[in-house]
Structure 1
Amino acid sequence: MVTDFWSPIRLSLEIAAVSGILVLILGLFWGRVMANRRFRGAALIETLFLLPLVLPPTVVGFLLIYLFGHNSPVGQLIEWIFHQPVMFTWWAAVIASTVVAFPLMYQSAKTGFEAIDRDIEHAARVDGASEWKLFFFVSIPLSLKAIISGAILSFARALGEFGATLMFAGNIPGKTQTTSTAIYVAIDAGNMQLAWLWVLSMIGISFLMLICTHLIKT
């Protein structure tokens, strides 16, 4: 019973941690690329980046199945390389969580980079700093609060992902069953005591993360 209780929480934390790292890397890169840049098609690209934030989770799950399913070129390539499909695996849950959490990290990173005084960056370039050094030693430190806030919110979003994960990764106990899907199954089975325990655990974790976000901003 104890193992059954902690398994979804452990899986949720593991999946959220890995997707959080991926989202951080992607969010920093694209946030930097899109910050203070105006080019044809920029609005379309940004709209696509933010789309998972407003799309129903079932739509995101359906698109992931279409992109990574058995009949898609990407899905067939993955199956050929790893000798197994990505659907209904631990990595499917990571992909689903990454997709839905990415907009939060991207928007926070972009906002942080846009707030940097351009004169500081120009001065660093004049002093001989390369674009990589400028990015790591000037841009990131100056926008660190926004980046950390985005990372925490993205982790929280990945931790609570349900719809896309259920469709794309399934609900396999000990493998892809996260706390969100475990709560759904517990309620469906009428096990309200177990559901409440998971609900309170998620509320506690999410509350702590939001408190950390608030402390960082103040």
Structure 2
Amino acid sequence: MAITPEEMVAIKLSLRVASVAVLASLPIAILVAYALSRGRFRGKILLDGLVHMPLVLPPVVTGYVLLILFGRRGPIGEFLDETLGIVLSFRWTGAALAAAVMSFPLMVRAIRLAMDAIDRRSEDAAASLGASPAWVFATVTLPLAMPGIIAGVVLAFAKALGEFGATITFVSNIPGETQTIPAAIYTYTQTPDGDAGALRLSIVAVGLAFAALVASELLVRRSGQQRAGFE
């Protein structure tokens, strides 16, 4: 059951899409999680609901909204195309955007829970010594929240690898361009005698997810040991 060149393209594309999705959304997720954990402002509940909306909406709906907004004729997509020459619809970058949107709530939630669990006295002690809020955030809050950040990154990466509904709605299923592992499996299931290919890619998907979870556990344990030493 050797992997075919076409399947290898789908595997590499999935890893590329998931990596870009996570890395691009991580800074935003940290800031949003911090705002939800520490902030006191009007509209906080609305922000929380907006962030978690992709978890409760059908993925096809999310993909359709992305197509309306970021398509070539959409308000954002048209602006990006005409001013920056960036096209997202039916491109791998659009697949990364869809994966980022769908995985974003999982990352924010994990990071926020980690920040909620931090003993505020550590931050107050740093502030009392004259540290600015930004310095407290960078030197105290982030290191203590690192296990949650790692967990959020791995959860988001795994979600991005398995994203299908929003992706196929927004960027279709184009071999070599937007056909990720889930899309390729779907194609195999619709093809006569495609069971072997679907099985191969399913095994790859399970292996990648398992490897990500094991790596996450190891990193979280190591980060937890460093956190214990910090405290």
On whether the aligned pair clears a TM of 0.5, the verdict is: yes
Q: 2:7·2:184 contact (CA, 8 Å) conserved in 1?
A: no
Q: Distance in 2 between matches of 1:194 and 1:45?
A: 42
* Residue of structure 1 equivalent to 2:163: 161
Give the direction of change, closer, same or farther, for the CA distance of 1:134–1:95 in structure 2 (3 Å limit): same
* Residue of structure 1 equivalent to 2:112: 110
1:212 lines up with 2:231 in the alignment: no
Deviates most, 131-140 or 207-216: 207-216
Q: Secondary structure at the match of 1:171?
A: coil
How does the TM-score come out when normalised to structure 2?
0.89
Give the direction of change, closer, same or farther, for the CA distance of 1:192–1:99 in structure 2 (3 Å limit): same
Give CA-to-partner distance per residue, 1:121-172, whole Å, 9 cap, x none: 1111121222222122110111111110111000000111101110111111
Q: Distance in 2 between matches of 1:36 and 1:132?
A: 13
Q: Distance in 2 between matches of 1:15 and 1:84?
A: 16
Q: Distance in 1 between matches of 2:54 and 2:37?
A: 20
Q: Distance in 2 between matches of 1:144 and 1:92?
A: 29
* Residue of structure 2 equivalent to 1:65: 67
Q: Secondary structure at the match of 1:176?
A: coil
Identity of aligned residues (%): 37
Deviates most, 75-84 or 189-198: 75-84
* Residue of structure 2 equivalent to 1:136: 138
Q: 2:11·2:180 contact (CA, 8 Å) conserved in 1?
A: yes
* Residue of structure 2 equivalent to 1:122: 124
Q: Distance in 1 between matches of 2:4 and 2:74?
A: 40
Q: Distance in 1 between matches of 2:49 and 2:113?
A: 15
Q: Distance in 2 between matches of 1:116 and 1:84?
A: 40
Q: 1:23·1:101 contact (CA, 8 Å) conserved in 2?
A: no
How does the TM-score come out when normalised to structure 1?
0.94
Q: Distance in 1 between matches of 2:86 and 2:54?
A: 27
Q: Distance in 2 between matches of 1:13 and 1:42?
A: 34
Q: Distance in 1 between matches of 2:86 and 2:150?
A: 36
What displacement does 1:213 show? Answer: 3.6
Give the direction of change, closer, same or farther, for the CA distance of 1:83–1:148 in structure 2 (3 Å limit): closer
* Residue of structure 2 equivalent to 1:187: 189
Q: 1:23·1:154 contact (CA, 8 Å) conserved in 2?
A: no
Give CA-to-partner distance per residue, 1:74-107, whole Å, 9 cap, x none: 1110110244632101110010000000001101
Q: Distance in 1 between matches of 2:190 and 2:147?
A: 41
Q: Distance in 1 between matches of 2:85 and 2:115?
A: 41
Give the direction of change, closer, same or farther, for the CA distance of 1:85–1:22 in structure 2 (3 Å limit): closer
Q: 2:33·2:111 contact (CA, 8 Å) conserved in 1?
A: yes
Give CA-to-partner distance per residue, 1:35-68, whole Å, 9 cap, x none: 1333321111101100101211101001101111
What displacement does 1:176 show? Answer: 1.0
Aligned length in residues? 218
What displacement does 1:31 show? Answer: 0.5
Q: Give unmatched runs, 5+ long, in structure 2.
A: 225-231
* Residue of structure 2 equivalent to 1:178: 180
Give CA-to-partner distance per residue, 1:165-192, whole Å, 9 cap, x none: 1011111111111011000001101311
1:18 counterpart (11, 14, 20): 20
Q: Name the amino acid aligned to 1:19.
A: A
What displacement does 1:214 show? Answer: 4.1
